[in-house]
Structure 1
Amino acid sequence: MPATTRADTEGPGWGFAGRLKAARLAAGLTQTELAGERYTKALISALEHGASRPSVASLDYLAARLGLSPAALLEPDETPWARLEADLRLAAGDWVAAADAYAALLVDEIVPLRRAELLRGLAEACASLDQGERAVSAAAEAATIFETHGLPLEAIEARYWQAAGLYRQENTEEARSLLRQVLEAIRSGSRVQPGFEVRVLIAVAMIDGREGHHARALTYLDEARGRLGELDDRRRASFLESLAISYREAGDYEGALTLGRQALTYFRAAANELESAVLDNELALTYLALGNLRRARAHAAAAAKRLTAAGDPAIAANVAETQAAIALADGDLVTAAQDATRAVELARETGNAKALISATLTAGRIARRQGDLLAARAQVEVALATAREHGRAAQVRECLVELSDLAAAGGDTARAYALAREALG
Structure 2
Amino acid sequence: MTQTATGTGRAGGELVPEPLGDRIRRLRMARNLTQRELAGSRYTRAFLGAIESGTRSPSQEALAYLAGRLGLPVDDLLFGRPANVAAELAAQLSEARRSLSAGDLDAADRALADIQRRAEHYRLDDVAGWARYHRAEAQLHRGRAAQASAAYDELATDLTGPEALRAAVSARQAYCLLVGGNAPRAVALLEERLRRLRATPPVDPDAELRLTNALMYTFLELGWRHRARKLEREVDAVLGRATHQEWVAQFHAVAGQLRRDGELDEADRLLREAVRRYAELGLTREIALCHWARGYVLLRAGRPAQAGTQLRQARELLAEVGAVLDHAGATLELAEARRREGALAEAGQLAQEAARTVTDCEHRELMPEADRVRGLVRAAQGDTAEARRLLGRSIDRYERAGLTGEVVVTCRQLADILLSTGEHGAAEAVLRRGLRAGERLS
Q: CA deviation at 1:6?
A: 3.1
User: Is residue 301 of structure 1 aligned with residue 312 of structure 2?
Assistant: yes
Q: Contact 1:142–1:158 (CA<8 Å) still a contact in 2?
A: yes
Match of 1:243 among 238, 255, 265: 255
Q: Could you tell me the TM-score, scaled by structure 2's length?
A: 0.63
Match of 1:69 among 84, 94, 109: 84
Q: CA deviation at 1:162?
A: 3.4
Output the CA distance in 2 between the equivalents of 1:385 and 1:123.
Answer: 31
Q: Contact 1:87–1:121 (CA<8 Å) still a contact in 2?
A: no
Q: Contact 2:249–2:274 (CA<8 Å) still a contact in 1?
A: yes
Tell me: CA distance 1:180–1:12, structure 2 relative to 1, closer, same or farther (3 Å): farther
Output the CA distance in 1 between the equivalents of 2:398 and 2:73.
Answer: 54
| 1:195-231 deviations in Å (ceiling 9; x for gaps) | 3321112122233444454333212213434444444
Mind listing any 5+ residue stretches in structure 1 that lack a counterpart? 32-43, 54-58
| Aligned-partner SS, 1:278 | helix
Q: CA deviation at 1:283?
A: 0.7
User: Is residue 281 of structure 1 aligned with residue 297 of structure 2?
Assistant: no
| 1:5-40 deviations in Å (ceiling 9; x for gaps) | 63696326659xx99989964687877xxxxxxxxx
Q: Contact 1:297–1:326 (CA<8 Å) still a contact in 2?
A: yes
User: Is residue 331 of structure 1 aligned with residue 360 of structure 2?
Assistant: no
Residue identity over aligned pairs, in percent, reads: 20
> Which segment is superposed worse, 127-136 or 258-267?
127-136
| 1:305-338 deviations in Å (ceiling 9; x for gaps) | 5456545565443333222211221233344334
Output the CA distance in 1 between the equivalents of 2:143 and 2:261.
Answer: 21
1:93 aligned residue: 100
| 1:92-136 deviations in Å (ceiling 9; x for gaps) | 435865679989989xx9xx9979947655555556667665555
Output the CA distance in 2 between the equivalents of 1:301 and 1:168.
Answer: 23
Q: CA deviation at 1:364?
A: 1.1
Output the CA distance in 1 between the equivalents of 2:416 and 2:3.
Answer: 67
Match of 2:228 among 212, 217, 232: 217
| Aligned-partner SS, 1:362 | helix
Mind listing any 5+ residue stretches in structure 2 that lack a counterpart? 8-16, 29-62
1:179 aligned residue: 190
Output the CA distance in 1 between the equivalents of 2:272 and 2:65.
Answer: 49
1:11 aligned residue: 20
Output the CA distance in 1 between the equivalents of 2:168 and 2:365.
Answer: 26
One-letter code of the match for 1:367?
A: R
- Counterparts of 1:81-120 in structure 2 under 5 Å? 89-90=96-97, 92-93=99-100, 117=129, 120=133
**Larger-gyration structure (1/2):** 2
Tell me: CA distance 1:233–1:343, structure 2 relative to 1, closer, same or farther (3 Å): same
Q: Contact 2:168–2:211 (CA<8 Å) still a contact in 1?
A: no
Q: Contact 2:171–2:214 (CA<8 Å) still a contact in 1?
A: no
Q: CA deviation at 1:281?
A: 1.8
2:41 aligned residue: none
Output the CA distance in 2 between the equivalents of 1:266 and 1:223.
Answer: 22
Q: Contact 2:375–2:386 (CA<8 Å) still a contact in 1?
A: yes
Q: Contact 1:130–1:168 (CA<8 Å) still a contact in 2?
A: no
Tell me: CA distance 1:91–1:361, structure 2 relative to 1, closer, same or farther (3 Å): same
Q: Contact 1:303–1:319 (CA<8 Å) still a contact in 2?
A: yes
Q: CA deviation at 1:366?
A: 1.4
Output the CA distance in 2 between the equivalents of 1:92 and 1:262.
Answer: 22
Q: CA deviation at 1:376?
A: 1.1
| Aligned-partner SS, 2:100 | coil
- Counterparts of 1:184-203 in structure 2 under 5 Å? 184-187=195-198, 188-190=200-202, 192=204, 195-203=206-214
2:48 aligned residue: none
Match of 1:166 among 164, 177, 180: 177
Q: CA deviation at 1:365?
A: 0.5
2:430 aligned residue: 416
Q: CA deviation at 1:369?
A: 1.9
1:264 aligned residue: 275
Q: Contact 1:12–1:21 (CA<8 Å) still a contact in 2?
A: no
Q: Contact 2:167–2:207 (CA<8 Å) still a contact in 1?
A: no
Output the CA distance in 1 between the equivalents of 2:144 and 2:322.
Answer: 21
Q: Contact 1:136–1:165 (CA<8 Å) still a contact in 2?
A: yes
Q: CA deviation at 1:368?
A: 1.3
User: Is residue 379 of structure 1 aligned with residue 390 of structure 2?
Assistant: yes
Q: Could you tell me the TM-score, scaled by structure 1's length?
A: 0.66
